[in-house]
Amino acid sequence: MATESELEGFVAVFERLAVAAGDAIMAVYAGPIDVERKADASPVTEADRQAEAIILAGLRQAWPQIPCVAEEEVSAGKLPVLGDGAFFLVDPLDGTKEFVNRREDFTVNIALIEAGVPVAGTVYAPARGALYSGGGRKAWRAMVTASGTIEGRTPISVRAAASPPMIVASRSHRTPETDDVIARFPGAELVSVGSSLKFCLLAAGEADLYPRLGRTMEWDTAAGDAVLRAAGGATLTLDGRPLAYGKRLPGQPDDLANPHFVCHGNAPESWRGLLTGR
């Protein structure tokens, strides 16, 4: 397992690559956006492709021995064989629908997985200039200037749960099952946010719960999950176990899909049954 110092080294590279990818994304954002549809009908743009190329080139140069699992490569049928070692999960543009509709919630996501656990990650929202990172037991946020400089790193951590809680939910992918979990917390304040920023709101102590009872893929969640765990939070499946990564089999892209999960910052024991429905 990587040491705290080694994790900081990973995150430093993640941040540099995320900012570079964000610059490419914003260049596309500034002009007409052409949208294509992948085999699963999800949208993809030139920004997705350019950002992924930047990130993968940087990761493979820095750590050629570590496999990369990236959304657009997987869509193109490029599935690396994973053993028991570490690997990277990359979503170059999470929240493509937000991007296409010119909302600011889209993010760049890079994570390191060890033994099924997201141990380091960076989430960057280029339209907001907001960057969140975490590794080991440390998490922080920062702002990225117009020149690409990262400034004002500030430690973040989850907060003591509010009562009633503040719940964040997907803007574009709400499901009846998600609404059922939300309904178990009468009076809860609800905030709709796109992309992996939902994890970051919990990590920064600005919200308490994020239920996701709908389809997600491992690259959608890994970076935000790493930040949340480093900030003291948790991402649990509905049987109460930590969400695990690296589940897939070679040639089986659907095995990259996550089960339903609920994230929390600092949930009291009394919430556990409400979160799992047990």
Structure tokens at 37: 């549809």
What is the fold, at CATH topology level, of the domain defined by 166-276?
Answer: D-Maltodextrin-Binding Protein; domain 2 (3.40.190)
Which residues make up each annotated binding site?
A: 71, 91, 93-96, 220
DSSP state letters, 59-115: HHHH-TTS-EEEHHHHHTT--PPP-SS-EEEEEEEE-HHHHHTT-S--EEEEEEEET
pLDDT band at 42 (very low <50, low <70, confident <90, very high): confident
Residue ranges of the chain that CATH labels 3.30.540.10: 4-155
Lowest average pLDDT, out of 130-134, 145-149, 186-190, 266-270, goes to: 266-270
Which residues make up each annotated binding site for Mg(2+)?
A: 71, 91, 93-94, 220
pLDDT of residue 172: 66
pTM for this one?
0.94
pLDDT of residue 269: 81
Pairing between strand 68-70 and 87-94? parallel
At 155 the three-state DSSP class reads: strand
Q: Are 173 and 222 in contact (CB under 8 A)?
A: no
Which residues make up each annotated binding site for substrate?
A: 71, 93-96, 220
Residue ranges of the chain that CATH labels 3.40.190.80: 166-276
pLDDT of residue 248: 59
| Crossing angle of helices 46-62 and 4-29, rounded to 10° | 150
CATH of 4-155, one of 3.30.930.10, 3.30.540.10, 3.40.50.2300, 3.40.630.10: 3.30.540.10
Contacts of 44 (CB under 8 A, 6+ apart): 35, 36, 37, 38, 72, 75, 96
